[in-house]
Structure 1
């Protein structure tokens, strides 16, 4: 059986970001919970949900709420897919529109 020899200090070719992302195991890729703007919930209620559920400060919760309001959506959390799915379900339970997506 042939042996592979790796020299210490040998330079490895640089990988571009797309190649590195493609080679990461699926479980290693971060996911995001995204909250979307809706015509139903008050801005003060969205701030309260973000503070209560995620534990964000009033300033951070307000910043995220304003992103939802002005940009149409905001990433409110990032991490493993299963956890982001739980967060999205919790947002649904609060009456907010939320989805899960792979981090860009």
Structure 2
């Protein structure tokens, strides 16, 4: 068709990329039979900088519910948090945030 301009596909793609929210991921700490509850609270306070009440609440979630989400954000950051939890001897994984 003469005189019809082709759509600018690059511009359309850029618009979709900019309007879509960034992916969010979670660091999940799991219950284990090895670590004391006081140690898990200590790790949460030391590494994440949580106050005592938040660290205690998350530790209880790990203990009673079997796991707790301790951080949300970009995948690379969550992978670093997960590795840090492993370095402290805790069981942790990264998963996509369902929200």
* TM-score tier after normalising by the smaller chain length: 0.7 to 0.9
- CA drift at 1:24: 4.0
Q: Indicate which of 32, 44, 58 corresponds to 2:38.
A: 44
Within 5 Å, which residues of 2 pair with 1:36-75? 36-75=30-69
In the alignment, structure 1 residue 88 sits paired with structure 2 residue 90? no
Q: Where does residue 29 of structure 1 map in the other structure?
A: 23
- TM-score norm. by structure 2 comes to 0.80
In the alignment, structure 1 residue 76 sits paired with structure 2 residue 70? yes
Task: Classify the secondary structure of the residue corresponding to 1:76.
Answer: strand
Task: Classify the secondary structure of the residue corresponding to 1:52.
Answer: helix
Task: Classify the secondary structure of the residue corresponding to 1:45.
Answer: helix
Task: Classify the secondary structure of the residue corresponding to 1:70.
Answer: helix
Supply the distance in 2 between the matched residues of 1:78 and 1:91 (Cα, whole angstroms): 14
Gap regions ≥5 residues in structure 1: 4-22
Gap regions ≥5 residues in structure 2: 8-18
Larger Rg: 2
Supply the distance in 1 between the matched residues of 2:26 and 2:58 (Cα, whole angstroms): 14
